[in-house]
Amino acid sequence: MSENENLLLRLRQEVSGYSPTQQKLGEFVLSAPAKVLYLTITELARETETSEASVTRLCRTLGCKGYNEFKMALALDIQQNQAPQPVGDEIDGVVSESVQALQDTATLLDRALLETAAGALHQARSVQIYGVAASAILGEYLHYKLLRLGKPAQLFSDMHRAAMNATTLTKDDLVVAISSSGSTRDLLHVVKLARKRGARVLALSNTPRSPLATLSDMLLVAAKPEGPLSAGALTAKVGVMLLVELLTTSLIALDGHYSEVSQQTASATLPLLL
């Protein structure tokens, strides 16, 4: 994916981490992308009550050299996403948004970074998973997948216990911090403690620019960001579940031992299913 491809998707993912002025511009573009195509840089600045310099900064943040290149990338993005959407009920809407979240997560995926993250999981003496509320449910899924592969891991959804755990870590341990917003105060506290002990941090989040992203050594981003009223919604969580699946698939590709252990752990539960 080149820097200015999928411009609207990148903007939708990143806008919450922008400065107030850049947020105002970004939200205007997202709300009326077709209109922006026909505005000059001066007109866009006037419409948003910002400045031409602010518009230029937004263009560069999105990987464009200037406003003309930004409008070209925007036009291509709009054209690619003009396929008519079938009209359906609320159930169809949830299904469609969930499928789109998976596709968008795949589009955002940095495969080299995924490989690096899988390598960090493989090399870690132990994996410590931190997440609260709905993110803890995703942590449970990751913990289950690592258990199946025989990878030592612990899950903490209580950040008081996580804080105690973090102070015992070393450079040989890996923390996986899960937070949709990347701004959960209690989680940030324990991640800071873990970093002081030298542990590496892999973040799974829906927000590319956040305090958690700044603290992390590696960040894998899922679509789509949560809103205040959509916390815990499947459309926001399914992308992180895909990242978990890709991480464990990459682990198996790294070392055939994981595949053998997966078969052993699966066999161990068979008598319980009869």
Query: Could you tell me the residue ranges of all domains in the chain?
Result: 7-80, 104-273
Query: 104-273 is classed in which CATH architecture?
Result: 3-Layer(aba) Sandwich (3.40)
Q: Give tens-digit pLDDT for 38-68.
A: 888 888 999 999 999 999 999 999 999 999 8
The residue with greater pLDDT, 13 or 171, is: 171
> What pLDDT score was predicted for residue 80?
77
Contact 226, 236 (CB under 8 A): yes
Residue 258: pLDDT above 70?
yes
Question: Which residue is listed with tokens 């795949």?
Answer: 106
> Using CA atoms, how far apart are residues 220 and 116, in angstroms rounded to an integer?
11
Q: Give tens-digit pLDDT for 99-117.
A: 888 988 998 899 999 999 9
> What pLDDT score was predicted for residue 40?
84
> Using CA atoms, how far apart are residues 124 and 173, in angstroms rounded to an integer?
5
Tokens of 123: 């090399």
Tokens of 270: 């068979």
> What pLDDT score was predicted for residue 164?
98
Of the pLDDT bands very low, low, confident and very high (cuts 50, 70, 90), residue 26 is very high
Contact 141, 243 (CB under 8 A): no
Q: Give tens-digit pLDDT for 63-102.
A: 999 998 998 899 888 877 765 555 577 788 888 888 888 9
- Rounded to the nearest integer, the mean pLDDT of the chain is 89
Of the pLDDT bands very low, low, confident and very high (cuts 50, 70, 90), residue 3 is low
> What pLDDT score was predicted for residue 263?
92
> What pLDDT score was predicted for residue 68?
87
Say which CATH topology domain 7-80 has. Answer: Arc Repressor Mutant, subunit A (1.10.10)
> What pLDDT score was predicted for residue 16?
87
Nearest CA among 232, 228, 229, 254 for reference residue 241: 232
Q: What is the pTM of this model?
A: 0.76
> What pLDDT score was predicted for residue 111?
94
Region 192-203: what's the mean pLDDT?
98
Residue 229: pLDDT above 50?
no
The residue with greater pLDDT, 265 or 84, is: 265
Torsions phi, psi of 12, nearest 5? -60, -40
Percent of the chain with pLDDT over 70: 93
> What pLDDT score was predicted for residue 226?
59
Residue 1: pLDDT above 50?
no
**Domains 7-80 and 104-273 fall in the same CATH topology:** no
> What pLDDT score was predicted for residue 108?
86
Residue 220: pLDDT above 90?
yes
According to DSSP, the residues that pair with 205 across neighbouring strands are 221
> What pLDDT score was predicted for residue 59?
93
> What pLDDT score was predicted for residue 90?
77
Nearest CA among 147, 151, 156 for reference residue 269: 147
Task: Give the amino acid at 66.
Answer: G
The residue with greater pLDDT, 88 or 214, is: 214
